[in-house]
C-alpha cells in the first residue's frame, strides 16, 4: 500500500478524514479514485430520519480494514439515502473468533442511526450483518487454511497456561505444557496476538494465569505463534465464561441508569422500586455490598446492578437517568444487568 504523506500546508484540504470512528487512512495510489471513495466517511442524514428496524437490506462490501475493525457497504436498494453504509465489527453476526468482512462480499443487514459527535452529524450504520440468506459470516478458517503454515495441522490442539494477555497492547504470551512431540525449533513460550484470541466475537479482556488450548503456526518471518486460543475444552475466552456468568432467564426488568463511566465502559442501574428481582440476584447483591464494606468502601445502595458497555444495545447512550430495560445474571463477582435497552 502506497501512503501519500502530506507535508505542505496548502495540501491540508486533501488530508484523509480522521476521528475516533474513522482512523487516519492513507491514499492508495494503486486503487485510484474508487479506493479513495470507498474510504471517505459516510454521508449524513437528517436528524429526524427514521429507519425501519425490521427491514433487511442487501449490499456489497466495498472496503473493510480487518485489524481496525470497520468498513463500508454499498447498498443495492435505492431507498437508502446514502451511497454507502458504515459497518463496525461488533455488528457482524459471525462464527469467526475475530469477526471481519472482505471486499466484494455480498451481505444483508439492518440499519440504525448513529450520532457522529465529532462532525455533529447523524449517519447510518449497518447492524446484524449476515451473509445473504441470514447465515452467519464464517471466513476465517478457510482463509487461514490457505495463508498459514501450521505445526501439526490447522485443527491440532495443544494445552498450556496463558501468562498474560493485554487488550491495550493487543498481545500476550502462552507457556505450552511439556510432553508434546514438536520440532525443537518451536519455543516453549509463544506469543498470542489479538486476532488469535477466540472471544466469540467480543472484545478480549485482560487475562492472567489461565489454562488454555490452542494451535501453533509459523508466520512469514519464521516465528512460531499461537493460533485460535480458547479455554481448555474449546470454550471461547469471553468475560462471561471467565467470571462464570449465569443468566437468570429472559425476563426483562425496568430501571434507570444511576451512574455511567463512559471512559472505562461500566455503570450501575437502579431497578424501579416496584421491580422484584430473583432471590438469587438479591442474595448476591447483598453479598457483594457486604464484601465491599469489609474492604472499606462506602456503599450507598445495596440494590444497584453493575453493567458493562458490552451489555448495552448499540443504539443506547446510557447517560445518568436514562430509563432502561434489562435482564439479570449472577457471576463470581456478584450480580449484574445485561441486554440493556432503551
Residue tagged 508434546 (cell numbers): 180
Query: Among 151, 176, 179, 181, which residue's Cα sits nearest to residue 163?
Result: 176
Q: How far apart are CA 242 and CA 212, in angstroms?
A: 12
Query: Among 288, 162, 312, which residue's Cα sits nearest to residue 226?
Result: 162
pLDDT at residue 68, as a whole number: 85
pLDDT at residue 191, as a whole number: 98
CB atoms within 10 A of CB 162: 22
Helices and strands per DSSP (H, E), number in the chain: 4, 17
pLDDT at residue 38, as a whole number: 57
All three cell numbers of 34: 474508487
Contact indicator for 213, 221 with CB cutoff of 8 Å? no
CB atoms within 10 A of CB 323: 10
Ranges of H-type helices in the chain:
32-39, 140-147, 239-242, 279-294
pLDDT at residue 24, as a whole number: 34
Residue tagged 514438536 (cell numbers): 182
All three cell numbers of 77: 436498494
DSSP string, 203-261: PP--EEEEEEEEEEEE-TTS-EEEEEEEETTS----HHHHTT-EE--S--EEEEEEEEE
Consecutive sets of 10 residues in the chain, 342 residues long: mean pLDDT of each? 35 33 36 53 74 88 90 86 87 88 94 77 88 92 92 95 94 96 95 92 87 96 96 90 86 93 90 91 88 77 86 86 93 89 88
Q: How far apart are CA 95 and CA 112, in angstroms?
A: 22
Q: pTM for the whole thing?
A: 0.63
pLDDT at residue 61, as a whole number: 96
pLDDT at residue 323, as a whole number: 94
pLDDT at residue 314, as a whole number: 75
Contact indicator for 173, 210 with CB cutoff of 8 Å? no
pLDDT at residue 32, as a whole number: 44
Amino acid at each position: 500500500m502506497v501512503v501519500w504523506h502530506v507535508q505542505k500546508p496548502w495540501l491540508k484540504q486533501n488530508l484523509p478524514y480522521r476521528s475516533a470512528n474513522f482512523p487516519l487512512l492513507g491514499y492508495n495510489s494503486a486503487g485510484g479514485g474508487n479506493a479513495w471513495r470507498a474510504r471517505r466517511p459516510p454521508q449524513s442524514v437528517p436528524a429526524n430520519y427514521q429507519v425501519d428496524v425490521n427491514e433487511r437490506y442487501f449490499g456489497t462490501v466495498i472496503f473493510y480494514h480487518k485489524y481496525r475493525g470497520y468498513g463500508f457497504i454499498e447498498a443495492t436498494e435505492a431507498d437508502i439515502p446514502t451511497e454507502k453504509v458504515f459497518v463496525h465489527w461488533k455488528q457482524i453476526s459471525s462464527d469467526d473468533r475475530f469477526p471481519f468482512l472482505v471486499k466484494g462480499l455480498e451481505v444483508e443487514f439492518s440499519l440504525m442511526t448513529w450520532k457522529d459527535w465529532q462532525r455533529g452529524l447523524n449517519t447510518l450504520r449497518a447492524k446484524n450483518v449476515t451473509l445473504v440468506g441470514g447465515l452467519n459470516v464464517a471466513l476465517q478458517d478457510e482463509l487461514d487454511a490457505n495463508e498459514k503454515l501450521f505445526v501439526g495441522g490447522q485443527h491440532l490442539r495443544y494445552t498450556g497456561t496463558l501468562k498474560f494477555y493485554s487488550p491495550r497492547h493487543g498481545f500476550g504470551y502462552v507457556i505450552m505444557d511439556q510432553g508434546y512431540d514438536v520440532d525443537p525449533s518451536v519455543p516453549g513460550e509463544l506469543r498470542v496476538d489479538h486476532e488469535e484470541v477466540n472471544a466469540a466475537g467480543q472484545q478480549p479482556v485482560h487475562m492472567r494465569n489461565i489454562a488454555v488450548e490452542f494451535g501453533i503456526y509459523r508466520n512469514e518471518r519464521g516465528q512460531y505463534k499461537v493460533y485460535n486460543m480458547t479455554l481448555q475444552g474449546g470454550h471461547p475466552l469471553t468475560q462471561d465464561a471467565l467470571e462464570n456468568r449465569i443468566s437468570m432467564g429472559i425476563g426483562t426488568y425496568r430501571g434507570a441508569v444511576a451512574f455511567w463511566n463512559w471512559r472505562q465502559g461500566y455503570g450501575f442501574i437502579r431497578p424501579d422500586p416496584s421491580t422484584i428481582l430473583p432471590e438469587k440476584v438479591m442474595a448476591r447483591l447483598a453479598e457483594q455490598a457486604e464484601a465491599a464494606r469489609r474492604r472499606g468502601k462506602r456503599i450507598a445502595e445495596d440494590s444497584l446492578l453493575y453493567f458493562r458497555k458490552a451489555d448495552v444495545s448499540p443504539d443506547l447512550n446510557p447517560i445518568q437517568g436514562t430509563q432502561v430495560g434489562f435482564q439479570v445474571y449472577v457471576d463470581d463477582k456478584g450480580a449484574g444487568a445485561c441486554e440493556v435497552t432503551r
